[in-house]
Amino acid sequence: MNDPKTATYRAIENHFLRYQELQQVSVQENHNPMVSLASEFSGKILIEDPRMREFTGDDIYVRRTVARMLQLANDELQNIWPDCDLEVTYGYRHLDIQTSEFEAQRKETQRDFPLLNGVELDEATHRFVAAPEVAGHPTGGAVDLRIRRTAGDLLDMGTNLGDFSFDTYVFSPFITREAWHHRQILRACMLKAGFAPFDGEWWHFSFGDREWARYFNRSQAVYSQLRFSLF
């Protein structure tokens, strides 16, 4: 903890919403339907989790409002950089996958911190994998995305999407100025479209879930977790 870099990241983490804070947010499901992103979005789509093909095939699904907001965000990005598109790599995640990931991480966290149990263990686990009952992806309201040029190359964001490192924190001061700038443009486009950012992962944004409700001080979330499948 005496390491200045570690201390900086711990200070950033103090601004992240905790599991118990998200638990306190009530949900009034508005039944906004799930839609194919490929049919609603002019940007790019790249499926990076083959497990989801069992549920949604070769497509990414999100709530209809989320798809429309993504199009707005992509339009805004192209106003800034006409040769770029948003590339969505994840939308809806089946609740079974989220639960499996959380339980695996919980076991690993318990091995690393054997004195933790109950809510404290859940809280520590949630820092790495969102607890299923508060997670955004299973609601169809959360997305993971990055920026890709039409020429094919990705913009430098300082880390790869999905990396497990402190440098994924949006406001990490230990990345290059160029990567910082790219992150802030992505964040600004998504915020303008109405998404809430998760500043622990530069690629993660949501609408309608508990994270969104807390970020924008809404009285309740409007999307609950779903068991959605095409098959």
pLDDT by residue, tens only, the chain of 231 residues: 568 888 998 899 888 999 999 999 999 999 999 999 999 999 999 999 999 999 999 999 999 999 999 999 999 999 999 999 999 999 999 999 999 999 999 999 999 999 999 999 999 999 999 999 999 999 999 999 999 999 999 999 999 999 989 999 999 999 999 999 999 999 999 999 999 999 999 999 999 999 999 999 999 999 999 999 999
How many other C-beta atoms can be found within 10 angstroms of the C-beta atom of residue 118? 7
- Looking at the structure of the chain, the number of domains it has is 1
Q: What are phi and psi of 107, to 5 degrees?
A: -65, -40
Q: Could you tell me the residue range of the domain that residue 125 belongs to? A: 4-215
Residue 62 lies in a domain: yes
CATH of the domain at 100: 3.30.1380.10
Residue 17 lies in a domain: yes
Give the SS3 label for residue 82. coil
Instruction: Write down the pLDDT at residue 159.
Output: 98
Instruction: Write down the pLDDT at residue 3.
Output: 82
